[in-house]
Structure 1
Amino acid sequence: MQRRTFQQFLSAVAFLSPALGHTQTRAVVRAGDQKGGLRALLEAAGELKGLPYDIQWTEFPAAAPLAEALNADAVDFGPIGDAPLLFSLAAGSRVKAFAVNRSDPYGTAILVAPNSPLKDASSLKGKSVATNRGSIGHFVTLKALASVGLKAEDISLRFLAPPDAKLALTQGSVDAWATWEPYTALAETGGHARVLVNGRNLWSGLSFLAATDNALRDKRNQLQDLQQRIVRAQAWATQHPAEFSATLARIIGIPAEAARLQFERRQTRWQSIDTQVVADQQRTADFYLDAGLIKQKLDVRATFDTGLPLAA
């Protein structure tokens, strides 16, 4: 009797083992996020339901620390603007962009205090500007200066993270702050700043999903699935701006007014990585080379993975 019972036990274990093994090997995608925007988008649209894998979220205040995490293989992928991605790649990061979107660049801007006497980009000469080194704020600052015949040496750049830069501006220790959404909308709606120079005609509006080489090799199916969920979520959010803005405001802890303003004016559109995207990215890389922010010419074609196309 005892022998038959033991055999039955072994049979039961053998039957359960495949299910147990499946649970133990469930994939985990380590997602980096900037100010909670990607997670809020997916959550609001219901695209985090029924995932066949797990997501481990890590939030970053800006692209620079997210890029550092990618370079250290601490996260698998994350959203990052074109300029900070190039800055990271030039430093030797083993990552590639596998998805792209374009947004209205207005909110990537140089901000000043509401009562500032500064009127335009030319009035920045001799002034101090806070931003993240290698960020799209840094890029737009240099482009704004170039548009009026000025160089980086004509201003005092102070490299600060967004919270510190905002504090520096409000306390008057810098004259301007170059930043991006949602910080721009938050500063505007809060009455802390006004836009001196917006990013239109200065920045391409390109942002990417970038992943490590390891993740693109080992978690390719999961990244492809996430990309499709993000595209569907963007379409949903465009049709439901109030619902999405409320979720974004809750997740990142900002007023719904600021969340909605930054979302509606960005008008984000996901697209294929086409020749125009590559050409625009090459121009940005060449500008960074001319500005001395990267030391060697970068051929951006090698920085894309075009093997995860958008669904038709």
Structure 2
Amino acid sequence: MSNFNLSGAAFLRRRFLRVIGTTAALWGLGSGASKAQPAAVKPEKALEHLPQLSQLPQLRIGYQKSAVNLVILKQQGVLEKRFPNTKITWAEFPAGPQLLEALSVGSLEFGLTGDSPPVFAQAAGKDLVYVGAEPPKPDSSAILVLNDSPLKTLADLKGRKIALQKGSSAHYLLVRAVEKAGLQWSDIQPIYLPPADARAAFERKSVDAWAIWDPFYAAIELAIKPRALATGRDLTSNNSFYLASRPLATQHPQVLAVLFEELTRADAFVQSNRKDVIKLISDFSGLDAGVVSLFIQRRPKSPVSPLSAATVADQQRVANAFLKLGLIPKPVTVAEIVWRPDGTRLAQLERK
């Protein structure tokens, strides 16, 4: 934690060098591209051309209730202190698809979503960039049925109505669950609803099951004690991604370096100050402290870093699964919109 006591200039320099070195090493493991990547700009040279923090007039951040690290930064006012010359604004969204729509039309510069929303956004031609990732959270989502439901296994979903947010991480969870059950996507009836409407439909038995993530999962679990036919474990990594506008990624990489550092520090705070964190998130979200406690328990350590080659490959599998089912209109190559913090350009990997 000693880096947090460095002066501003020394801090930025050391952090950015570390980000560059880490990502270069990760991508050096191989990405499946048929041609070698161009040599990265030397860190010293890259730093010479970085804009000053004061040149970023505003930073608009999108978040959801599940974005724990961002919520901590918001509640503690950390970014406002780190960027005193930048207007920081925050906007809450019910799910990732809505957040990325705002980002793609220029209403945001930065935000966090699950695995599926960026795939749908890229397939729709939205202009955004993957810049960071948190570790997998497979226990933080589930396919739920009411406690008195006759459905006992994933195979029992055949012919049933399942509520989910279209294009959300729950969408891919359900895709994988259907596949594991030996069913076809056409065997089920997906009912596309945002989380609040999906919960209402679930409780009044208008749908047979609900694919959902925390904290909505924790809230319904404590309220009415549904059964989980499956969680993300053995189905999906349930990765979380930080996405940015192209101008932020390409013109202000040093801002992303500071964001990564502060988000990772926020996660360390979450791990070591559970009681304080539960109160912070509960006060912010209006969620019961018991709900917050439950979903925090299911959340592993979540430091933030640039995407590794393995994470990009995992995300490509998500995209391929949606394409195979005709749920996105065209193939996408995830790596084409992954930020490479080497001072030159985004990673552009050839399709096989």
Greater Cα offset, 38-47 or 172-181: 38-47
Letter in 1 for 2:236: W
SS in structure 1 at match of 2:257: helix
Tell me the distance in 2 between the aligned counterparts of 1:308 and 1:265: 34
TM-score (norm 2): 0.77
User: Structure 1: any 5+ residue segments left out of the alignment?
Assistant: 1-23
Residue 205 of structure 1 deviates from its aligned partner by 2.5
User: Structure 2: any 5+ residue segments left out of the alignment?
Assistant: 1-53, 344-352
Name the structure 2 match of 1:167: 200
Greater Cα offset, 39-48 or 277-286: 39-48
Residue 45 of structure 1 deviates from its aligned partner by 6.0
Residue 172 of structure 1 deviates from its aligned partner by 0.8
Residue 306 of structure 1 deviates from its aligned partner by 2.5
Are 2:66 and 2:215, in contact at CA under 8 Å, matched by a contact in 1? no
Tell me the distance in 2 between the aligned counterparts of 1:208 and 1:25: 26
CA pair 308-43 structure 1, distance change in 2 beyond 3 A = farther
Higher fraction of strand: 1
Name the structure 2 match of 1:17: none
Mapping of residues 1-312 of structure 1, within 5 Å: 27-35=57-65, 37=67, 38-43=69-74, 47-48=78-79, 50-52=81-83, 53-191=86-224, 193-270=226-303, 271-307=305-341
Residue 43 of structure 1 deviates from its aligned partner by 4.3
Tell me the distance in 2 between the aligned counterparts of 1:187 and 1:196: 15
RMSD, aligned CA: 2.1
Residue 113 of structure 1 deviates from its aligned partner by 1.4
Are 2:131 and 2:306, in contact at CA under 8 Å, matched by a contact in 1? no
Letter in 2 for 1:97: Y
Greater Cα offset, 47-56 or 194-203: 47-56
Residue 159 of structure 1 deviates from its aligned partner by 0.4
Deviations 1:97-120 (A, max 9, x none): 111111331221111112222112
Higher CA-based Rg: 1
Tell me the distance in 2 between the aligned counterparts of 1:272 and 1:211: 12
Give the number of equivalent residue pairs. Answer: 287
Deviations 1:118-143 (A, max 9, x none): 11211111110011111111111111
Letter in 1 for 2:176: K
Tell me the distance in 1 between the aligned counterparts of 2:74 and 2:136: 21
TM-score (norm 1): 0.86
Tell me the distance in 1 between the aligned counterparts of 2:129 and 2:326: 23
